[in-house]
Amino acid sequence: MKAITGYKLRKLFKYALVATVVAWVLTLFSGDQVGPLLGAWALLGLWTGVLEEFLFGRRFRSLAIPLQFLGKVLLVNLLTIVLIALAYSLDSERFELISTKQPYHVYEIFGMPQFYHLLLRVVVVTSIAILVVQVEELMGRRMFLGFLLGRYERPKAEERIVLTLDLVGSTALAERLGDLTYFRFLNYTYSLMTDAVLRNEADIHKYVGDEVIFTWPMRVGVRNENCMDLFFDIVTRIQAHENDLKREFGTVPQYRAALHGGRVISAQVGHIKRVIDLSGDVMNSVSRMLGLAKVMKTDILVSAELLERMPKATGRFTIGPQHTVPVKGKRREVRVHEFMRAHEMS
């Protein structure tokens, strides 16, 4: 299964789950029986997800976020209501209303308040499902769950891997393209990274202008060398769209990167605007490593400390000689290596 396919299936599951939970809560407040109707609400969530992801999602991306939400809600609910009305009208003689076991003629159903209560509940459930899933995507899964569960209210030490990706020659490129075209170029490039990010199970920690910071929990990043594959998968995706980039922007982006892992402190910072930030020696070291990569004019460096956690990496990657990087404010150095994926060299 392709990474993007798995991502879309998980997204459909989110819609079904949120719709079911919201419908369950509404049903409890209304005093109706919960039981078998939850399956119908889960199907409604799946239907909402299919419409949003495959039919309407891309059509609203050029709009402001509130207009995106309103547009999706209006169209999804319009089609859903039309579908429900069509389902009722197909049986021209008698139909069993969802809230009762007594059959009715169709013309009687359209005149009953229960039918419009059902439509109102459908609108509420689908609207909340769209809102929750869109907010989760906007914030990122890790940040969304962290805020929801209060996980980062207090600083938390954890083992994480950090990959910093930096655009080569960004200043000259921004001057040549102009501000608006440059940021459109960045957004287009970031969208190309999506499949590689999903395939290698990475979290996008933040965008800092032309720099992207990816993270993994340690066990996820070292699994199948996900953290080492990501950079090369991104480069492959960019190369596959090289002609499109040249036609649209006249250039193809080149990136260099630094990869390190260890103990970091994760914490929620800010009050008016809250974000989850990472701090510690790993963040300081990876920044220094990226500076060395620029000096060496190499594509990517990885710390020897992280390499030791991936003993099977030498079977798939060619590891270069060791270099040392002084860490600012610390009386120690970080040992680093260049590396290449074996088949990238052929």
Highest mean pLDDT among 61-75, 225-239, 287-301: 225-239
Q: How far apart are CA 80 and CA 153, in angstroms?
A: 39
Please choose, from the candidates 239, 27, 256, 50, the residue with its C-alpha nearest in 3D space to the C-alpha of residue 122: 27
Q: How far apart are CA 220 and CA 101, in angstroms?
A: 51
Q: How far apart are CA 141 and CA 203, in angstroms?
A: 8
Which CATH number does the domain 142-344 belong to among 3.40.640.10, 3.40.50.2300, 3.30.70.1230, 3.40.50.2000? 3.30.70.1230
pLDDT confidence of residue 95: 46
Q: What would the pLDDT profile of 215-262 be if each residue is shown by its tens digit?
A: 999 999 999 899 999 999 999 999 999 999 999 999 999 999 999 999
Contact 95, 86 (CB under 8 A): no
Three-state SS at 155: coil
Q: Is the dihedral of CA 283, 285, 288, 294 positive or negative?
A: negative
Q: What would the pLDDT profile of 281-293 be if each residue is shown by its tens digit?
A: 888 889 889 988 8
List alpha helices for the chain, DSSP H. Answer: 3-30, 37-50, 65-90, 106-109, 113-139, 141-149, 170-177, 179-192, 194-199, 218-222, 226-240, 242-249, 281-296, 304-307
pLDDT band at 208 (very low <50, low <70, confident <90, very high): confident
Contact 203, 161 (CB under 8 A): no
Three-state SS at 94: coil
Please give the average per-residue pLDDT across 167-189, as a whole number. 91
Residues forming CATH 3.30.70.1230 domain(s) in the chain: 142-344
